[in-house]
Amino acid sequence: MTEDEPRQQLVDAMRTLDARGLNRGTSGNISVRFGTGMFVTPSGVTPDRLTPELMVFVDGDGTVAQGSARPSSEWRMHMGLYQRRADANAIVHCHARYSTILACAHREIPPLHYMVAVSGAANVPVAPYATFGSEELAAGVAETLDGRYACLMANHGLIALAPALPLAMAIAEEIEEQAAVYCGTLSLGGPVLLEEAEMERIIGAFRQYGQKDAED
């Protein structure tokens, strides 16, 4: 794969988040693993102004090539996750409305619906608050995501990771849907939750869900 492909993928993905109402303005960031580091979206650029040339390559040691755009302020969070999670090749962070509402209330998404299991677990927890772009935030998110594909970030937003960018995008969108459903049930007295054993069955079933690679 040449670097042109991940650069264009990031542009397309950021515009998709904006078009689907999962992100607004210059908030949020996306990255893909590449070589010894990653490509990540630049800091402070709205989706309509993004170009492949603005995507920033950050090496594994944090080095950014001279003359590159400034990487997203959250680049440490992305890099820390890649270094910790061999199964992660793409990361999506956004400020989707209902996920952010719950994040600001420090309220996790419980097992109210079987699709919560797309997160890799029976619930979607909330990572502790820390200032955006800080090493403390990166560490807290990495710890909360241990063994999971998604979590909320206290007073901040949503983050999802996956082996490929389309899947990371799909997980982020589904978690936002579950956040919206949960917020809706709270106006009716709260959800009736699925039992732990049922969620374990669903998580197991999801491992076999969908189309396998052609060679399988």
Residue 214 has pLDDT above 50, yes or no: no
* Backbone CA torsion sign across 60, 63, 67, 73: positive
Q: Give the count of beta carbons closer than 10 Å to the beta carbon of residue 3.
A: 13
| Domain limits, the chain | 4-206
Q: Are 48 and 24 in contact (CB under 8 A)?
A: no
Q: What tens digit of pLDDT does each residue of 52-93 get?
A: 999 999 999 999 988 899 999 999 999 999 999 999 999 999
Is the pTM above the cut of 0.85? yes
Rounded to whole angstroms, the Cα distance separating 38 from 56 reads 8
Q: 4-206: what CATH class?
A: alpha beta
* Percent with pLDDT over 70 in the chain: 97
End-to-end CA distance of the chain: 22
Residue 1 has pLDDT above 90, yes or no: no
Query: Is 173 noted as a catalytic residue in this protein?
Result: no
Rounded to whole angstroms, the Cα distance separating 76 from 90 reads 14
Active-site entry in 53, 74, 136, 195: 74
Q: What tens digit of pLDDT does each residue of 157-193 get?
A: 999 999 999 999 999 999 999 999 999 999 999 999 9
| SS3 assignment, position 126 | strand
